[in-house]
Amino acid sequence: MGPIETLSNEHGLIRHYLNVLALAESKIQEGQHPPREFFDKAVEFARGFADRFHHFKEEHVMFVRLAQKRKGEIDGQLDTLRYQHERGRNLIGGIARAVEGYAAGDMMKTADLLENMAAYISLLRHHIHIEDHVFYPMALEELSAEEMAALGEEFRKERERQGGEIFEVCHKLIVDMSSMLTHL
């Protein structure tokens, strides 16, 4: 599997996560209350998989290669993608800060939680769409077979650095989150 396919597969897992998060949002709006542990796992997934693993590979490996190759021509596009990653980190921080109050029944913290969830889901869905349909095809055109092989090797090293099973571990987080929602 090539590095772009790897990133696309990771997007699939992130989309699955976003769907589970959206279901939790709906349940709260219907008066049901997913447990605090659901949101702890949601934050863990976003910070561990989406940000430290997936976005790290994009920002610190692929974006750098493309910026060097295009000599500044796509810096604006790359800055926009980086900004969206940072915005997502801020929204996850908002979710994390609201969880304790939500768990205690604080209506304002519940509203904060819902607002940050809705913004995060919308942001990442749009972001993934842009990467899958604009950015990744551009990377496929720009990078040679040798550059793709080097990118793939760097991705492999990052997976090993993260413990080798990060995809599987984070998939289990989503399964656990889904299970919590079915038992409400």
Q: 79-105, pLDDT tens digit by residue?
A: 999 999 999 999 999 999 999 999 999
21: tokens are 């998060």
> Domain of 66?
3-182
What total of structural domains would you count in the chain? 1
Percent of the chain with pLDDT over 70: 100
Residues 141 and 69 sit within 8 Å (Cβ to Cβ): no
Is the pLDDT at 19 greater than 90? The verdict is yes
Q: In this predicted structure, what is the pLDDT of residue 69?
A: 85
Q: In this predicted structure, what is the pLDDT of residue 94?
A: 98
| pTM of the predicted structure, to 2 decimals | 0.94
Burial class of residue 70 (count of CB atoms within 10 Å of its CB; 0-12, 13-18, 19+): middle
Q: In this predicted structure, what is the pLDDT of residue 30?
A: 95
Q: What is the CATH number of the domain that holds 119?
A: 1.20.120.520
Burial class of residue 135 (count of CB atoms within 10 Å of its CB; 0-12, 13-18, 19+): buried
